[in-house]
Chain A
């Protein structure tokens, strides 16, 4: 099973600041990594797929990078609606599909 480790667990930032979230895989997932955003009481929403491709309707301030075992989600300038929990997920080697433990981006 591929384990995904996200860091940090919590990121305290102010609106307008840059957010950098990390996801590390226990073995290579090539580029088969996605990022999701989840707000309280809502279902997750796909942000980035295949490491660096923005999903439909996702603003350009969200970007993804990386391949192999190390991946990054960057939010260039935080908007108030971006404060949420972010999960990475791999689909390279399944079953099982696996998710990281999440990073909470909170208002400082």
Chain B
């Protein structure tokens, strides 16, 4: 059974940094594209970043490029999102989302999310 469990959310001041994590289980973690998708309070879904399966190629939404870094530790089956220079409009629930193998971005499993609040 696929499981995704996010952690690391919390309150951070504008300009600050935070790292959120996602522990994955139930599939061969290194082979699959893993994503972060966020949802601001009362708003829709916004794709943030992907790390592709097998080659670990990464891509980002324009709104976070240069500030956020996605990575994974295969030995720990853990996905990370390092968020720097946080802004108030980065406040959202951040979901860890499993894609398909390689560069297939079929979002078939979602974690429950972790809440990031950016406020002074």
The complex places the Cα of A98 from the Cα of B50 at a distance, in Å, of: 13
Known A-B contacts A43-B95, A44-B45; A97 and B113 likewise in contact (beta carbons under 8 Å)? no
Q: Which one of B46, B61, B108, B113 lies within 8 Å of A46 (CB-CB)?
A: B108
**Smallest Cβ distance from B24 to chain A, in angstroms?**
14
Tell me if B106 counts as interface (CB < 8 A to partner A): yes
Question: How many residues of chain A get a CB closer than 8 Å to chain B's CBs?
Answer: 22
B interface, how many residues as a size bin?
20 to 34
Are B105 and A97 neighbours in the complex by a CB distance under 8 Å?
Answer: yes
Are B46 and A99 neighbours in the complex by a CB distance under 8 Å?
Answer: yes
- In the complex, what residues of A have CB within 8 A of residue B112's CB? 42-43
Q: Which of A35-64 contact B (CB under 8 A)?
A: 36, 42-46, 49-50, 55
Are B47 and A99 neighbours in the complex by a CB distance under 8 Å?
Answer: yes
Q: Which one of B44, B95, B108 lies within 8 Å of A87 (CB-CB)?
A: B44
Which residues in A have some Cβ–Cβ distance to B below 8 Å? 34, 36, 42-46, 49-50, 55, 87, 89, 91, 94-102
